[in-house]
Structure 1
Amino acid sequence: MTTIDDLATLGTSTWLDDLSRERITSGNLAEVKKEKSIVGVTTNPAIFSSAMTKGNAYDEQIEELKVGGSSVDEAVYAMSIKDVQDACDLFLDVYESTGGKDGRVSIEVDPRISADHAATIAQARELWEKVDRPNVMIKIPATDESLPAIADALAEGISVNVTLIFSVDRYKQVIDAYKEGIQRAYDAGIDVSNIHSVASFFVSRMDTEVDNRLDAIGTEEAKALKGKAGIANAQLAYQLFLKEFAAELPTGANKQRPLWASTGVKNPEYPAAMYVTELAGPETVNTMPENTINAAIADGGLHGDTLTHAGAEAQQVFDQLEQVGIDLEDVVKVLEREGVEKFVSSWQDLLDSMETRLK
């Protein structure tokens, strides 16, 4: 038994925030699953960019794609889909034993189309069909333009990982989109018990942005609040989850679980597992880089459910942040814009690299 098993007892599923061909073919992913009690995998454009631009694990498939005349976009997605299919197959037993709750592997729509509803839902459908595994989740960003695509995908029976959520207000819109999509699916006669969804709340990026602003303010009162915004933000989101999903859903429907993402600390002065120990509680997922998983196992410092009754204290943190001059609304705007921009940049770097290799 490790901290990861203890997290599961509290109700938090641990997913690995990483995937590569080398992890799969070397047996490393199977080992991590077995030895560290990992029950799912998430990917994003930055993860695939890192995986595909290093080493030679993709050389054979790249040569096949080159001979077949694939475009750069087709090649990148062909390789991504192959990795996700293999990871889905590896975690199929978890999917089956948990009734579809875990054993999930996520693949993201092209971040360059996050402002295009029609293109987003079209690619979500395409990825769902091409991966062709019951335990895949299609990642769709929680941008204004993509929110309708989230509802549309769910209404068609597609399991969705809603990503790049930075505020409780945005999370409320995501929940509304989820409820709309599930109701539409139910009304259409689709078995909603097979549809699962998570809402990915980004944690450490909130602290990075707020901490920089607290340092700029420079008072002792401001500096005392460093490292508190990300956890408080997630804890407030959890309070909304409890409230919104206390109401009855269509018969057989699953709750959309909160997922804590960006859980590797950016500030080395902070405890490496703080976004694990402080965000443990029922009906949640924490997707972690392997370094954070290792830190959590080594730390072993869980202190029970840190979500269910944390609302008042979390709200106090946000009140104090506003009192010292932090414009939280502006923080969220910056994080949402930068979140999409960072994924677009990673994806473009990958496309540029792959174009050179295909030539």
Structure 2
Amino acid sequence: MTDLLPGPALDRLVSDDLPTRLWNDSADPDELRRSIALGAVGATCNPVIALAVVRRHLGRWSERIREIASEDASATDADIAWQVVEELSIEGAGQLEPAFEASGGRDGRLSIQTDPRLHRDSAALVDQAVRFAGLAPNVIVKIPATAVGIAAMEEATFRGVSINATVSFTVAQAVAAAEAIERGLDRRAAEGLPEHEFGSVVTIMGGRLDDWLKHTTKRDRVLVDPGILEWAGVAALKKAYSIFQARAFRSRVLSAAFRNHFQWSELQGGDLVVSPPFDWQLRIAENRLPVVDRIDVPVDPAIVEELLRRVPDFARAYDEHGLSLDEFDSFGASVITLRQFLEAGAELEALVREVILEP
């Protein structure tokens, strides 16, 4: 199914006959414009993405950073960095507004991530989520699928915030996040609060799960059949999707952190979101990978069985009850990803400081 096809690149990466939606894993305005032309109806922003965008368009953002600093002498480097993240997100939200209106709010969403420094404070996460939700009508707020974050998701949903669960790698985290969103929605209904389309999504960072399992097998000197670790994230995503469908959760699964094209092609046909970086979209288009319904095609049972038998952290990631709520924070992929988000935030602050102090 993955043989290269002759002829020009695909014009679009979606099929009107399938419910699968494409989002762009960046808020870079130029990339997002081109991704929308390929069929994208959503995008995301976080400290890693914002840092990359500012570096790529340093001339524009250097001028804006100096303007912000001159407008408010009390603003810290962190304050200015997060204002850049917000402005970048608002710009992306504007580009997606037509898709938001056309879908009644289900699509056309711009995800903005809560400050990773708040990951231990549920109330602070909720307060920031509520504020971010007011930046534009189609903003969706990313909250980490940690023990603290799960509680924040419920409360933020109750307070009217659309959620994108992030820092999420396992079926257990995905189900816990979806259940938290359901509780928040049910609380709204019980209080007679207005109902609307939240468009909430629950991310599984499939490629980062693959990365972690490759690390653990190398660390533990475990040899498995070559290539099977490329299927781990896909297997977890398909398992989570089947649970979401069976329980009629009002949120959708989102596939992120691409490491191979299976994380796009094997999920086509599902009522879910695939969110590859723009370069992955180009590669998929250039190789003319077919957009065909494969969501109900299971991962080879022999691959799943070997992963379950030989890779303990895959078993924990694949089993709905493989991790307790308190274990979400200490799962290896969660620790690594939170560190990277924190480091990117610090790098963005440092870049702001360099721009302001530049002679």
TM-score bucket of the superposed structures, by smaller chain: 0.7 to 0.9
The answer for the alignment partner of 1:144 in structure 2 is: 147
The answer for the alignment partner of 1:343 in structure 2 is: 341
1:71 aligned onto 2:71 = no
The answer for the alignment partner of 2:41 in structure 1 is: 39
Structure 2: distance between partners of 1:218 and 1:121: 42
The answer for the alignment partner of 1:257 in structure 2 is: 252
Q: Indicate if the aligned counterparts of 1:87 and 1:105 stay in contact, CA closer than 8 A.
A: yes
Q: 1:295 and 1:321, CA in 2 relative to 1: closer, same or farther beyond 3 A?
A: same
1:5 aligned onto 2:4 = no
Structure 2: distance between partners of 1:143 and 1:201: 13
Which of 83, 86, 91 in structure 2 is aligned with 1:86? 91
Task: Report the alpha carbon displacement of residue 143 of structure 1 after superposing the two structures with TM.
Answer: 0.7
1:14 aligned onto 2:22 = yes
Structure 2: distance between partners of 1:172 and 1:117: 19
Task: Report the alpha carbon displacement of residue 213 of structure 1 after superposing the two structures with TM.
Answer: 3.8
- Mean Cα deviation higher: 171-180 or 313-322: 313-322
The answer for the alignment partner of 1:317 in structure 2 is: 303
TM-score, length-scaled by structure 1: 0.85
Specify the code of the residue in structure 2 equivalent to 1:10.
L
Q: Indicate if the aligned counterparts of 1:14 and 1:39 stay in contact, CA closer than 8 A.
A: yes
Specify the code of the residue in structure 2 equivalent to 1:5.
V
* 3-state SS, counterpart of residue 23 of structure 2: strand
Specify the code of the residue in structure 2 equivalent to 1:338.
I
Q: Indicate if the aligned counterparts of 2:109 and 2:140 stay in contact, CA closer than 8 A.
A: yes
Cα displacement string for residues 221-247 of structure 1 (whole angstroms, at most 9, x for unaligned residues): 54352312111111111111112217x
Q: Indicate if the aligned counterparts of 1:203 and 1:231 stay in contact, CA closer than 8 A.
A: yes
The answer for the alignment partner of 2:294 in structure 1 is: 306
* 3-state SS, counterpart of residue 165 of structure 1: coil
Task: Report the alpha carbon displacement of residue 111 of structure 1 after superposing the two structures with TM.
Answer: 0.7
Q: 1:336 and 1:211, CA in 2 relative to 1: closer, same or farther beyond 3 A?
A: same
The answer for the alignment partner of 1:284 in structure 2 is: 272
Q: Indicate if the aligned counterparts of 1:213 and 1:326 stay in contact, CA closer than 8 A.
A: no
Structure 2: distance between partners of 1:203 and 1:277: 13
Specify the code of the residue in structure 1 equivalent to 2:123.
A
The answer for the alignment partner of 2:6 in structure 1 is: none
1:120 aligned onto 2:108 = no
TM-score, length-scaled by structure 2: 0.85
The answer for the alignment partner of 1:326 in structure 2 is: 312
Which of 174, 178, 183 in structure 2 is aligned with 1:180? 183
Q: Indicate if the aligned counterparts of 1:113 and 1:119 stay in contact, CA closer than 8 A.
A: yes
Cα displacement string for residues 225-278 of structure 1 (whole angstroms, at most 9, x for unaligned residues): 2312111111111111112217xxxxxxxx201000102x2xxxxxx5222111
Q: Indicate if the aligned counterparts of 1:236 and 1:314 stay in contact, CA closer than 8 A.
A: no
* 3-state SS, counterpart of residue 140 of structure 1: strand
For structure 1, list consecutive stretches of 5 or more residues without a partner in the other structure: 247-254, 266-271
Structure 2: distance between partners of 1:94 and 1:180: 27
Specify the code of the residue in structure 2 equivalent to 1:80.
V
Task: Report the alpha carbon displacement of residue 165 of structure 1 after superposing the two structures with TM.
Answer: 1.2
Cα displacement string for residues 173-222 of structure 1 (whole angstroms, at most 9, x for unaligned residues): 11110110111112222232232200011011112222344456454x54
- Once superposed, what is the RMSD of the aligned Cα atoms? 2.2
